[in-house]
Amino acid sequence: MSTDQNTDQNTQPAPRYALSARAAALRSSDVRELLKAAQQAQVISLAGGLPAAELFDTEGLRAATLAALDTNPAAALQYGLTEGQTALREALQAREREQGIALAGRALLVTTGSQQALDIVARLLLDEGDVVVVQRPSYLAALQTFNLAGAQCLGLDEDEEGARVEDLETMAFPRKPKLVYLVTPFANPSGATLSLRRRRWLLEWAARNEVLVLEDDPYGVLRTEGQELPSLAALAQDVPGARAWVGRTSTLSKAVAPGLRLGWLVLPTALAEAAARVKQSMDLHTSSFAQEVAAHYLAGGRLPAHLARVRGAYRERRRALCQALREAFGGALEFSEPEGGMFLWAHFTDGTDTRALLPAALAAGMAFVPGDAFYAGAAPRDRLRLSFSTETPERLREGVARLRKAWEASRRG
* CATH number (domain holding residue 290): 3.40.640.10
Query: Which residues 6+ apart lie within 8 Å of 373 measured at CB?
Result: 29, 30, 31, 140
Is residue 81 domain-shared with residue 38, that is, in the same domain?
Answer: no
The answer on 361 and 337 residing in a single domain is: yes
Determine contact, residues 400/45, Cβ cutoff 8 Å: no
In whole angstroms, give the CA distance from residue 219 to residue 224: 11
My answer on whether omega of the bond before 189 falls inside 30° of 0, hence cis, is yes
- CATH number of the domain residue 371 falls in: 3.90.1150.10
| Residues 111 and 41 placed together within one structural domain of the fold | no
Q: Looking at the domain assignment, is residue 281 inside a domain?
A: yes
Residues 239 and 274 in one domain: yes
- Residue at a domain's end among 269, 299, 329: 299
Residue 6 falls within a domain, yes or no?
no
pTM above 0.85, yes or no: yes
Residues 322, 395 within the same domain: yes
Cβ-contact 379, 371 below 8 angstroms: yes
Total domains in the fold of the chain? 2
Question: 189 and 336 in one domain?
Answer: no
Residue 18 included in any domain: no
pLDDT category of residue 20 using cuts at 50, 70 and 90? confident
In a domain, 48, yes or no: yes
| Residue 191, SS3 per DSSP | coil
Handedness of CA 221, 224, 229, 232 (dihedral sign): negative
Tell me, what's the pLDDT at 8? 52
Beta bridge partners of 74: none
Q: What is the pLDDT of residue 49?
A: 87
pLDDT of residue 25: 73
| 50 and 105 housed in the same domain | no
* Statement: residue 21 has pLDDT above 90: no
Q: E-assigned strands of 235-367?
A: 246-251, 263-268, 333-335, 343-348, 366-367
Sort residue 330 into left (φ over 0), alpha (ψ -120 to 50) or beta.
left
Same domain, 250 and 385: no
Please tell me the predicted confidence (pLDDT) of residue 63: 98
Q: How far apart are the first and last CA of the chain?
A: 52
Instruction: Print the domain residue range for 374.
Output: 26-57+305-407
pLDDT tens for 378-397 read 999 999 999 999 999 999 99
Closest Cα partner for 230 from 212, 241, 246, 251?
Answer: 246
